[in-house]
Chains A and B, each alone.
Chain A
Amino acid sequence: DAGVTQSPTHLIKTRGQQVTLRCSPISGHKSVSWYQQVLGQGPQFIFQYYEKEERGRGNFPDRFSARQFPNYSSELNVNALLLGDSALYLCASSLGRISSYNEQFFGPGTRLTVL
């Protein structure tokens, strides 16, 4: 079975632009979470989607939005890009909502550079 996949692998944008990142979960997984990892720091939680509904949101501005499709894949959108949005964006999937019973499986990440 394929693991969590993310696209694109790398992306370069300029300030003010908009970006869409994509994630396909492991087959059978219904929950997708998004994380931002700035160089040298641990990941930070952005969103969790379960059964196509937002179930959790981290401390990120409204420029960040996401959605989950009927096939449980997900997109993360970032508008009005800032230099500080440059980071590795990680997607993780799990069978159910984040809990003590559901292990998360991470994708390889999308490295976004904002110039």
Chain B
Amino acid sequence: KNEVEQSPQNLTAQEGEFITINCSYSVGISALHWLQQHPGGGIVSLFMLSSGKKKHGRLIATINIQEKHSSLHITASHPRDSAVYICAVNNDMRFGAGTRLTVKP
């Protein structure tokens, strides 16, 4: 079993829909990262959080340390949000396999 599990693996949504991507981990962490990877490979850090909730524009990330679970929400999704979203935890940056999001116009 991977130490960092993401769900779903693939997600297709219509423009405007509210999107949730989940991440569960089995190791103790000091921080959890949400990353965005576009075709071609470049990775952008979206959030780094160790408790509670963070918001940036249409993106919201939450973490529940007791339940070892984090969610990434996208409100009013747009085709430009189409990318792979990756969850990673500190302690040697262990990564989930990613969630491929496609938002259709």
Could you say which interface size class chain B belongs to? 20 to 34
The minimal Cβ–Cβ distance linking A5 to chain B, given in whole angstroms, is 12
Q: How many A-B residue pairs have CB under 8 A?
A: 63
Interface contact B92-A45, CB-CB below 8 Å: yes
Mark interface residues in B71-105 (1 if CB within 8 Å of A CB, else 0): 00000000000000010101111111110000000
Interface contact B94-A45, CB-CB below 8 Å: yes
The one of A33, A43, A90, A99 in contact with B31, judged by C-beta atoms closer than 8 angstroms, is: A99
Most buried by B among A43, A58, A90: A43
Given A35-B93, A100-B31, A43 and B45 contact (CB-CB distance below 8 Å): no
Could you say which interface size class chain A belongs to? 20 to 34
Residue numbers in B under 8 Å from A103 (CB-CB)? 33, 45, 48
Stretch at the interface among A12-20, A66-74, A76-84, A105-113: A105-113
Please report B residues at the A interface, Cβ cutoff 8 Å. Answer: 4, 30-31, 33, 35, 40-45, 48, 50, 86, 88, 90-98
Given A42-B98, A44-B95, A98-B93, A106 and B42 contact (CB-CB distance below 8 Å): yes
Please report A residues at the B interface, Cβ cutoff 8 Å. Answer: 33, 35, 37, 41-45, 48, 56, 58, 88, 90, 92, 98-101, 103-109, 111
Residue numbers in B under 8 Å from A42 (CB-CB)? 4, 86, 88, 95-98
Residue numbers in A under 8 Å from B48 (CB-CB)? 100, 103
List 16 other contacts, CB 8 Å, given A35-B93, A106-B43, A109-B42: A35-B95, A42-B86, A42-B88, A43-B43, A43-B88, A45-B93, A45-B94, A90-B41, A98-B90, A98-B92, A99-B30, A100-B50, A104-B45, A106-B42, A106-B44, A106-B45
Most buried by A among B45, B50, B96: B45
The minimal Cβ–Cβ distance linking B8 to chain A, given in whole angstroms, is 14
A56 to B31, CA, bound (A): 17
